[in-house]
Chains A and B, each alone.
Chain A
């Protein structure tokens, strides 16, 4: 007798494994669908710089006086970014001093120097500095070459993604201060940012004192998202597992330390305390 339309039927043995295997053959697990086009880290940095430049050019002179961050107005934040680019230039020139320099303290003089200058000059100085970064990166050639700046030692390509991350973060700092709507990175840029954040999560966990072994399945939804299985901590081969599901852009705002976990539509399974520790570690990735 055939079953009714909605009547579930016991599945034949092996069908589950067969279907899941065929599915994974059709599309690799972990990658978002539809796939977003791949871009280079330099392209991601260039796009983030263009977006910020567009925002700065659209601001009125009065807007540049709006307090944004750490007592800095818009002009001060752009000055901070000039200082960061200067340190990146020194890093690419092989200056070892910037390897351990503080991201905030070392750039404070550049931020302070902008006070009283015409904003157009500040804007133009930053744009030139960002363009010079791209020129130096092109000249360096190898995106896998290891570089060290602001207590980060990482491949040049990853540094550029981190820089795109920072430009987008400050772009949104300025938008928030000016009462403008937040921006979302384009999916190819966001994909690089989420990959970097996922890759850095074990390091962040170690830095924030999470040493117990933990398997984290991080699922970042939306264009530019993806799924990662991340081993955190050190220890026995059968650690506890947790799953964290979040919107990709929201998670990047968390990594930038601009929102708290409570601000996000998070879905967590597993030990809540451990999940909270991982999320706190993600926020600690921010350089500010």
Chain B
């Protein structure tokens, strides 16, 4: 209620007026109906902010909604969260339910299943992220025998490819990658200009890339 109406009062005394006769007579003919009835009426009440309607819908349909969520998730706590999400969404945006499109029960069940499936997908994505994280940060998890074999095979392939390089290129690669020298230090150690060291490294890396890619394709 707006504050401005708080002071409303009428001067007309209680004895002053009565209801119009035709109205009083007609009012006595008001049909009394159960209000839990049609889904369209429930939807209209929800949109009007009638929280009793929400409680009625919950009491009628929440067990089925919970059952649907539990069937997908197999986890009571997660299913309860789904039930809460579904009913909060219905209350917050009642217009998203269209009575002409189907029953409220069907609408809520579909919402529950979608949300439950979303929860499962989200959990799967979380597990996959965790797996990738472990793979990218070795040391947090001890390598498996499979990981060790794969790494040894890769190292062996790289060394074999390096051995196949021309001497001038193999020398700069060994200094840079196995010796840990910078380009300037490689140039000094090899007795060549720095620009020459860089170009030999570029040529060597391009050649290694080609050889290793071919090996990878052949092995797969």
Is the beta-carbon distance between B17 and A26 smaller than 8 angstroms? no
Q: Which of A77-85, A118-126, A173-181, A222-230 contacts B (4 or more CB under 8 A)?
A: A222-230
Contact of A226 among B29, B48, B54 (CB under 8 A): B48
A-B contact count (CB 8 A): 243
Interface residues on B, range: 35 or more
Query: Nearest residue in B to A143 (C-beta to C-beta)?
Result: B4
Contact of B23 among A23, A30, A280 (CB under 8 A): A280
| Chain A residues numbered 32-74 whose CB sits less than 8 Å from any CB in chain B | 32-34, 41
A238 contacts partner chain B, Cβ-Cβ < 8 Å: no
Contact of A144 among B3, B52, B62 (CB under 8 A): B3
Q: Which residues of B contact A261 (CB under 8 A)?
A: 23, 26-27, 29-30
| Chain A residues numbered 1-54 whose CB sits less than 8 Å from any CB in chain B | 2-12, 15-16, 18-20, 22-24, 26-34, 41
A206-B14 contact in complex given A227-B49, A269-B35, C-beta closer than 8 Å: yes
Contact code string B10-38 (vs A, CB < 8 Å = 1, else 0): 11111011111011111111111111000
A280-B51 contact in complex given A27-B92, A199-B1, C-beta closer than 8 Å: no
- A273 to B8: give the CA distance in the assembly, Å: 27
A100 contacts partner chain B, Cβ-Cβ < 8 Å: yes
A207-B50 contact in complex given A143-B4, A199-B1, C-beta closer than 8 Å: no
Query: Nearest residue in A to B13 (C-beta to C-beta)?
Result: A207
- A41 to B8: give the CA distance in the assembly, Å: 14
- A15 to B61: give the CA distance in the assembly, Å: 13
Q: Which residues of A contact B183 (CB under 8 A)?
A: none
| Chain A residues numbered 250-266 whose CB sits less than 8 Å from any CB in chain B | 257, 260-263, 266
A164 contacts partner chain B, Cβ-Cβ < 8 Å: no
Q: Which residues of A contact B35 (CB under 8 A)?
A: 243, 245, 267, 269
Is the beta-carbon distance between A23 and B26 smaller than 8 angstroms? no
Consensus secondary structure, chain B interface: helix
- A286 to B47: give the CA distance in the assembly, Å: 27
A138 contacts partner chain B, Cβ-Cβ < 8 Å: no
Q: Which residues of A contact B91 (CB under 8 A)?
A: 23-24, 26-27
Report A229 CB to chain B, min CB distance, Å: 10
Q: Which 6 interchain pairs have the tightest Cβ spacing? A: A260-B26, A8-B63, A280-B19, A276-B27, A9-B67, A29-B51
14 A-B pairs besides A9-B67, A157-B4 with CB distance below 8 A are A8-B67, A11-B63, A19-B84, A22-B87, A23-B91, A24-B51, A151-B12, A157-B2, A158-B4, A219-B53, A222-B48, A227-B48, A260-B27, A269-B35
A: residues with CB less than 8 A from B are 2-12, 15-16, 18-20, 22-24, 26-34, 41, 99-100, 143-144, 146, 148, 151-155, 157-158, 195-196, 198-200, 203, 206-209, 217, 219-222, 225-228, 243, 245, 257, 260-263, 266-269, 272-273, 275-277, 279-281, 283-284, 286
